Structure 1
């Protein structure tokens, strides 16, 4: 079931990157948006761009790792938007390092934002969507949710968790008329590497180079994500390389882990 003509949406991590691109994609539909982030200045800039693009935006400070902050978004959405049709659990960070070497503090930080943040958003809004018998979750994972990369253990674990959560929710919520889409992009330009923890200089350099590829940037990813929501698809894998790895994981998982991913890791 496609989104309403003028959808009402809550977007976490809306101050920059993909969150901003999703807000602008929805602004083209004259959407009413609640932009949630810890970066107040960035949220205000996103709101200004949304207004210029034909939408309406309200901002709220929110730490997605705190369940109370996310629970409060339900009331904020009612107050500012008059309800909600779409919840975008987008806020994300990156922490790298191998198991046994990455600090537990970094594990806790990335789990709090990338996994618990999505859990908090789904927990807060699922009862409302079930009650109104409509609505859609767009959960932002990554190709790292199905491609394991040595040295990025904390990040990969959280993104795999978001994929599993979304697949489970699809089964639970479909009988109530509620949709779920999980977005799994590969590399595109955001600030996530600049703010990453536990990522060494070589991996950071490679990631930044891949993020700088021409085309297929945040606006493209956002457009493909919303198209998947409109189509009611569970999986949105917008990049060609991501789709190749996704199919290989399903068709030849042992070969992928024994031959392909070790070579990729050596390059990293």
Structure 2
């Protein structure tokens, strides 16, 4: 696969940084975008050792002006961008009755509107080029319906729907779209998580630790999807099975499977 120019929001840690490393090792020009300036400056050196052209730019996905400025800078420095990865995200856990409207607004502003802003900021550049690839990082939560995660599930489902719609809208512009739906894996999502469920930190840590895939594995699957121009990226086998069951089984059968697995995880 020929080296390309990739920009990644939430790129200073977790999956975003893992993807940046994989891309840099492949010889790609990499720009990590993050609102955490201290963390970005701490990690950019390791990327530049892999690919000297790597950049770190500070931006907050809740401000479209920040992302438009990133697009402007990359257009000037790189004469364009090939792959835009909308990866920045947060988590909120709790029943609908326990989740405040301010928490809903917080997670929508980042998980959904952050992706919308990333797409809108870079679309003029990609459309002018008449080529490019948008990668939106959602979650298996966007395809399934695990209890006590209504706001997280809803924002990730919206990212899936947005991505499906963009794939239809952007075909004429020769712009590819990929939506990434991983299950739990070791990342720093818990650092910013808001929860009304007691002991959720420990439960999340246990779920992440049980994953057979790590951030680097997910990153490599994203790179394969970019190369193959593949729309859905579901890296976890168990996640794929659950999604197939939801799609093809009667709703009650699928719900029975889901709740049995939830109880099994609670006991383990």
**TM-score, normalised with respect to structure 2:** 0.93
1:182 aligns with 179
Task: State how many pairs are aligned.
Answer: 265
1:165 aligns with 162
Aligned pair in 2 of structure 1 residues 55, 169: CA closer, same or farther (>3 Å)? Answer: farther
Q: Distance in 2 between matches of 1:113 and 1:265?
A: 27
| 1:17-28 map, 5 Å | 17-28=14-25
Secondary structure at 1:201 match in 2: coil
Secondary structure at 2:170 match in 1: helix
- CA RMSD in angstroms comes to 1.7
| 1:38-187 map, 5 Å | 38-187=35-184
Indicate conservation of the 8 Å contact 1:30/1:56, yes or no: no
Q: Distance in 2 between matches of 1:6 and 1:125?
A: 20
5+ residue gaps, structure 1: none
Give the drift of 1:54.
Answer: 3.1
5+ residue gaps, structure 2: none
Give the drift of 1:215.
Answer: 4.1
Q: Distance in 1 between matches of 2:43 and 2:104?
A: 29
**TM-score, normalised with respect to structure 1:** 0.93
Q: Distance in 1 between matches of 2:227 and 2:144?
A: 26
Indicate conservation of the 8 Å contact 2:82/2:133, yes or no: yes
Indicate conservation of the 8 Å contact 1:26/1:55, yes or no: no
> Which range moved further: 129-138 or 192-201?
192-201
Indicate conservation of the 8 Å contact 1:136/1:180, yes or no: yes
2:190 aligned with 1:208, yes or no? no
Aligned pair in 2 of structure 1 residues 257, 202: CA closer, same or farther (>3 Å)? Answer: farther
